[in-house]
Structure 1
Amino acid sequence: MSESDYALRERDGAIARIRNAALLDAAFILVYHNTVMSTYPHIDQALLADIFDESEAAAALSTATKLLNSTYDLGKAYLAGRFTHEDCVKRLEAGFPGFGRESYEKALSYGCFQAR
């Protein structure tokens, strides 16, 4: 399988997960894919408006972006041993309620990656 085939397969997998997820998690999957997998083909944000109410989709995209962008300091604190993994997840849940556990886990992982 070529690299471009792999990238398209990853994008298609993310789209399938978006279609089967609740709104906030769907928005997070899209934002995560377009940010973390930035060298892969992007997923058009209009996909969310095709599945969910347009204004709710826009708000969810904004919230998901804020969640992902908020994780650097938390990742840094976790790597320094100031917080446990569970403490970090609870902080994300408190600051950005409504996402599923996997979204918080991936957000924290991204924060740790950015903080290295």
Structure 2
Amino acid sequence: APPPEPPEGNALAGVTLDALYAVMIEVLERMPEEPDGTVERSDVSLADQIAMLEGRLQGRGRSFSFRQVIESCTSRVELVVTFIALLELLKRGTCEVEQSQAWGDIRVRALVQKAAS
């Protein structure tokens, strides 16, 4: 099968990669350092985080605050995997992001999918 067509328009209109990165770094800096020593395996999967974000997009209002999502992450691994999941949804054309002001919250909104012809 041919690869999917990229979504029309720009899902990242008004949001720079620097802004996405800055929000992620801000939350990472607020997270407590993970203790040195034993490294425990994380059960966070990309598929699970994509499903979680898709569920939020299907919920009331069909949008959510990116900051609230990443602030609910309990580990750095979960935060990074969630960020990658968002990038994947943007690539698929499932959602778009908008930031109304520099250093402000980033809103993630569901895009209406066109029916396959």
TM-score computed with the length of structure 1 as normaliser: 0.33
Greater fraction strand:
2
Structure exhibiting the larger radius of gyration computed from Cα positions: 2
Greater fraction helix:
1
Q: Whose RCO is larger (CA < 8 A, sep 6+)?
A: 2
